[in-house]
C-alpha cells in the first residue's frame, strides 16, 4: 500500500484501475496469439496431407516403389498430429473467450463497487488544494501581524491584523480537520479498493498461467507424438533392406522359376528364331545411318493391340513409329461464311472466358482494393482546375476527383486567374443587342422550401475553446477532406526546449468531408454522407522525451460529442479503448506508448528536419439528417427548347448543420451544358469553357451575413446550335475553416500533456445536384 499512498496527487486509484483494464487487453491478445498458432498448425497439417497424397501418386515402378508407402504413411500420421493440436487449441480458445466474458462482468461489478473510493480520492485532492491555500494565507497573515508589531504601527492596525490572522488561523484549522477526516476515509476506502484490485490481478494472473500451461501441455503432447512418428519412420526404413526390395520386385514382376528345355525338333525353331533375328537387324546405308524398314498397316494394328504388354523404355526411336490417324476435312460453306466466322469468334471468346485465371489475378484484385482505399482517403481533394474537368456522370469520376493535379496540367499564371486557353467565352455577334436582365427569367419563379420545417431548432453547441497557441499545424497544410497527415513544419515554439518535467504540447485537427446528392427541390430525396479524420501533431522534441524516459506518462484523451457519430474506427496499432463505456456522448482512449514512440522514431528517421510529426488517430462517420445536415442547400431548374436553354440554381446557407456557423469559402459551381452553345448570358457573371462545354460560377464567401442571409439564385441563358440540351448533374465545391459538421471535440485527460492547438475544418467531397 505504500506504493499507492505516496505522491502529491494521490493518483494510485487511477493507476490500479487502468491496470485492471489492461488485463482485458492482455487476455484478448493471448486469444489472438493462440488463434494465430492454430491457423499456422492447420495450414501446416493441410500441406502435409497434400504432400502425403503426392507421395502416393509417385511412380510405382522399380525396386524403390515400396519406400513411397513408408513416406506416405509417416506423412499422414504427422498431419493427423498437427490437426489434433488444432482441435485442442480451438477448445482452448473457447475457454479463453469464456474467461474474457467473465472478466468483463467482474470488471463492471468492481467499477460500481469502487465508485465511492473514486469520490474519496477526488474529495481528498480538493481538500488538499484548499488546505494548501489556507496554509499560505495563514502564514501571510501571521507574518503581516508580526511586521506591524516590529515596525511600531498603531494599535488599530495591529488589532486589524490580529483579527485577520485569527480568522486565517480558524480557517486553516478547519481545513486541517477536514483533511484529517478525508484522509482517514481515503485510507480506509483505498485499502479496501487496493485489496480488491490485488485480488483481481492475482486471479487474472493465475488464470492466464493456467491457460499458458494448457497451451504448453498441448504443444508438448504434439511434439511427443511427432517424435514417435519419426522413430517409427526410422524403424520402417531400417527394416526395409535391399534384399527385401529386390525380393518384392521378383515376386510381383517374375515370370516363372523353371528354365526352358530343348524339345524335339528344336533345330527348326532355332533356324526360325535366327531368321527372325536376322530380319530385325537394321540395314545401314553408305554413311552409316540406319535405314528404317517399311511398316505396313497390319504391323501397326498389331503393335497397337500389344500396348498393354510388358515393355521397356530406351533412347531408341521406337516411339517415332507411325500411328494410324483418321482425318476428316469439312468443306467450306460459302453461303454463310461471315456468320460462321462470327460464330467461331464467339465460340473462341466463350472458351477464353471459361479459362481459369492464373494466381496472378489475385495480385490485381489486391491492387484494386488498394486503389479503392486510396480513393476513400483522398476523397474530395479538388482544386479549382480539377472542378473544371469534373464530369459528374462519368464512371471514372471517383478516381479523377480524388487524385491530385497531374503533372501535365497547365499551371495558373500569377496575373491571370485562368490557365492559358482554359476558359474562353464564346464570341458574341456585335450586331446582337444586349439581353436585358428580364430575359433570364425564362423559368417560372416558384418558391419551394429547401427543407421541411422542424418542430424545434437544435441548440447550437459551444464554440471551440481558444487554443493556447495560434501557430499552425504545418505550413503546407492546405485543406483536403481526405488528406493523409504526414510530416509537416511549423513556426511554433522550438521543440528543442522540451523537457521531461514540462507539459508536452500536442495539437489536434479534425477534418471532415461532406458528400451530398440533391434531386430537384424535394428535400426527402437528398442523400448525405459525412466522414471525418482526427489527426494529432507531435513536436520533434517529444521524441527525445519519450526515448529517454523508459515509462512516459500515458497519453489519454476523451472524444466528446460522440452521440452524433455513427461509427468510430480508431487506429488499432496505437490506441486502446474500453468497450464497456456507458456514456454515449463521449469515449475514452489511451495510447500504446511503446507503439507511439516507435512510430515517431521511424518518422523522425525518414524526415529528420521536420519540426512536427502528424499521426492519423481515428476515422469516423457522422449520422446524417438528410438535407438538414448539408451546409449549402441546392435546387436546380432546367427549361430546354430547341434553340435555348434556361437554367436556375437556388442555394441557401444552412448554419444549423455546423457546430459553430462560419462562412463557406471558395464556392464554385460547375454545370455541363450540351447542345452546341453559341452564346451565354448569366447573372451573376460566370465563365464558359467552350472546349469542355461547361459553365463555372465562382462566388464569394457565403454566410449568415451575406445578402438574404446566404440565400440566392444563379441564372443563365444559353443559345444553342444543336438543341435541345439535356439536363445534367452539376457539381459544387466549397470549404470551411474553424468548424465541423459533427461537433466532435477532444479533451486531454491526466497530466503530462497540454493541448496547444485545435483546428477544425470541412470541405466537399462529391457534392452534386440534379433536376
The closest alpha carbon to 565, from 760, 736, 744, belongs to: 744
Spatial CB neighbours of 236, under 8 Å, sequence gap ≥ 6: 70, 73, 74
Question: How far apart (Å, rounded) are the C-alpha atoms in residues 275 and 631?
Answer: 107
Residue spans of the chain under pLDDT 70 = 1-11, 253-502
Whether the bond into 237 is cis, omega within 30 of 0: no
Domain borders along the chain are 11-239, 487-510+529-621
Question: How far apart (Å, rounded) are the C-alpha atoms in residues 99 and 204?
Answer: 10
Give burial (CB, 10 Å; 0-12/13-18/19+) of 442.
middle
Question: How far apart (Å, rounded) are the C-alpha atoms in residues 525 and 450?
Answer: 11
Q: Report pLDDT for 411.
A: 36
pLDDT digits (tens, 9 = 90+) for 678-725: 999 999 999 999 999 999 999 989 999 998 999 999 999 999 999 899
Q: Report pLDDT for 250.
A: 74
Backbone φ/ψ region at 764: left (φ over 0), alpha (ψ -120 to 50), beta = beta
Residues linked to residue 580 through DSSP beta bridges, in sequence order: none
- Angle in degrees, CA 646, 649, 653, rounded to 5: 165
Domain 11-239 has CATH 3.40.920.10: no
644 contacts 719 by C-beta, under 8 angstroms: yes
Read off the pTM: 0.43
Question: How far apart (Å, rounded) are the C-alpha atoms in residues 109 and 346?
Answer: 70
Q: What is residue 738's DSSP assignment?
A: S
Q: Report pLDDT for 69.
A: 84
pLDDT digits (tens, 9 = 90+) for 638-682: 999 999 999 999 999 999 999 899 999 999 999 999 999 999 999
Amino acid at each position: 500500500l505504500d506504493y499507492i499512498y505516496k505522491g502529491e496527487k494521490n493518483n494510485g486509484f487511477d493507476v490500479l484501475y487502468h491496470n485492471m483494464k489492461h488485463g482485458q487487453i492482455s487476455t484478448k491478445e493471448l486469444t489472438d496469439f493462440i488463434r494465430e498458432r492454430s491457423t499456422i498448425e492447420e495450414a501446416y497439417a493441410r500441406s502435409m496431407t497434400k504432400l502425403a497424397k503426392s507421395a502416393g501418386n509417385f511412380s510405382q515402378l522399380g525396386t524403390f516403389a515400396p519406400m513411397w508407402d513408408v513416406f506416405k504413411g509417416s506423412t499422414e500420421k504427422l498431419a493427423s498430429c498437427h490437426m489434433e493440436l488444432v482441435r485442442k487449441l480451438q477448445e482452448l480458445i473457447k475457454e479463453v473467450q469464456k474467461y474474457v466474458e467473465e472478466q468483463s462482468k467482474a470488471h463492471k461489478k468492481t467499477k460500481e463497487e469502487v465508485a465511492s473510493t473514486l469520490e474519496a480520492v477526488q474529495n481528498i485532492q480538493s481538500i488538499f488544494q484548499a488546505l494548501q491555500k489556507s496554509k499560505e494565507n495563514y502564514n501571510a497573515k501571521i507574518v503581516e501581524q508580526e511586521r506591524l508589531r516590529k515596525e511600531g504601527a498603531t494599535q488599530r492596525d495591529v488589532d486589524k491584523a490580529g483579527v485577520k490572522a485569527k480568522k486565517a488561523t480558524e480557517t486553516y484549522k478547519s481545513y486541517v480537520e477536514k483533511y484529517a477526516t478525508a484522509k482517514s476515509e481515503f485510507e480506509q476506502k483505498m485499502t479496501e479498493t487496493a485489496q480488491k484490485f490485488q485480488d483481481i490481478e492475482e486471479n487474472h494472473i493465475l488464470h492466464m498461467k493456467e491457460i499458458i500451461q494448457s497451451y504448453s501441455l498441448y504443444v508438448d503432447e504434439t511434439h511427443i507424438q511427432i517424435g514417435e512418428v519419426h522413430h517409427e519412420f526410422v524403424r520402417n526404413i531400417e527394416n526395409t533392406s535391399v534384399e527385401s526390395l529386390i525380393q518384392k520386385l521378383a515376386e510381383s514382376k517374375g515370370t516363372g522359376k523353371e528354365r526352358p528345355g530343348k524339345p524335339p525338333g528344336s533345330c527348326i525353331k532355332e533356324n526360325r528364331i535366327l531368321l527372325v533375328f536376322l530380319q530385325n537387324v537394321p540395314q545401314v546405308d553408305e554413311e552409316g545411318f540406319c535405314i528404317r524398314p517399311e511398316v505396313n498397316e497390319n504391323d501397326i494394328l498389331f503393335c497397337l493391340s500389344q500396348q498393354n504388354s510388358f515393355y521397356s523404355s530406351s533412347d531408341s526411336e521406337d516411339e517415332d513409329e507411325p500411328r494410324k490417324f483418321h482425318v476428316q476435312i469439312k468443306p467450306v460453306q460459302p453461303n454463310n461464311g461471315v456468320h460462321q466466322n462470327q460464330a467461331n469468334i464467339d465460340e473462341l471468346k466463350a472458351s477464353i472466358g471459361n479459362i481459369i485465371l492464373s494466381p496472378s489475378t489475385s495480385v490485381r484484385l489486391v491492387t484494386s482494393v488498394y486503389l479503392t482505399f486510396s480513393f476513400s482517403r483522398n476523397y474530395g481533394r479538388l482544386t479549382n482546375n480539377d472542378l473544371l474537368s469534373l464530369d459528374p456522370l462519368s464512371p471514372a469520376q471517383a478516381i479523377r476527383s480524388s487524385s491530385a493535379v497531374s503533372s501535365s496540367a497547365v499551371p495558373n499564371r500569377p496575373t491571370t486567374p485562368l490557365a492559358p486557353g482554359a476558359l474562353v467565352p464564346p464570341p458574341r455577334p456585335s450586331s446582337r443587342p444586349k439581353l436585358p436582365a428580364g430575359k433570364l427569367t425564362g423559368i417560372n419563379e416558384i418558391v419551394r422550401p429547401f427543407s421541411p420545417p422542424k418542430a424545434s431548432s437544435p441548440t447550437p453547441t459551444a464554440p471551440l475553446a481558444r487554443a493556447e497557441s495560434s501557430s499552425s499545424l504545418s505550413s503546407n497544410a492546405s485543406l483536403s477532406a481526405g488528406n493523409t497527415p504526414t510530416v509537416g513544419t511549423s513556426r511554433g515554439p522550438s521543440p528543442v526546449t522540451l523537457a521531461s518535467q514540462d507539459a508536452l504540447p500536442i495539437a489536434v485537427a479534425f477534418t471532415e468531408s461532406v458528400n451530398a446528392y440533391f434531386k430537384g427541390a424535394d428535400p426527402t430525396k437528398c442523400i448525405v454522407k459525412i466522414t471525418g479524420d482526427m489527426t494529432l501533431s507531435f513536436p520533434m522534441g517529444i521524441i527525445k522525451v519519450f526515448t529517454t524516459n523508459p515509462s512516459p506518462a500515458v497519453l489519454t484523451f476523451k472524444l466528446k460529442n460522440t452521440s452524433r457519430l455513427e461509427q468510430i474506427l480508431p487506429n488499432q496499432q496505437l490506441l486502446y479503448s474500453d468497450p464497456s463505456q456507458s456514456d454515449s456522448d463521449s469515449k475514452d482512449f489511451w495510447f500504446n506508448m511503446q507503439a507511439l514512440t516507435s512510430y515517431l522514431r521511424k518518422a523522425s528517421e525518414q524526415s529528420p528536419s521536420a519540426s512536427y510529426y502528424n499521426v492519423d488517430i481515428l476515422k469516423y462517420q457522422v449520422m446524417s439528417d438528410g438535407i438538414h445536415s448539408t451546409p449549402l442547400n441546392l435546387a436546380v431548374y432546367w427549361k430546354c427548347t430547341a434553340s435555348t436553354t434556361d437554367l436556375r440554381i437556388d442555394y441557401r446557407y444552412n448554419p444549423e448543420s455546423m457546430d459553430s456557423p462560419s462562412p463557406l469559402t471558395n464556392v464554385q459551381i460547375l454545370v455541363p451544358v450540351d447542345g452546341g452553345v453559341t452564346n451565354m448570358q448569366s447573372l451573376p457573371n460566370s465563365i464558359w469553357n467552350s472546349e469542355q462545354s461547361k459553365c463555372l460560377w465562382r462566388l464569394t464567401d457565403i454566410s449568415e451575413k451575406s445578402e438574404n442571409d446566404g440565400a440566392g439564385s444563379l441564372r443563365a441563358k444559353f443559345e444553342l446550335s444543336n438543341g435541345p440540351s439535356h439536363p445534367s448533374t452539376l457539381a459544387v465545391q466549397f470549404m470551411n475553416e474553424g468548424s465541423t459538421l459533427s461537433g466532435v471535440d477532444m479533451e486531454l485527460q491526466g497530466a503530462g500533456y497540454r493541448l496547444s492547438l485545435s483546428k477544425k475544418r470541412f470541405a466537399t467531397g462529391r457534392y452534386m445536384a440534379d433536376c
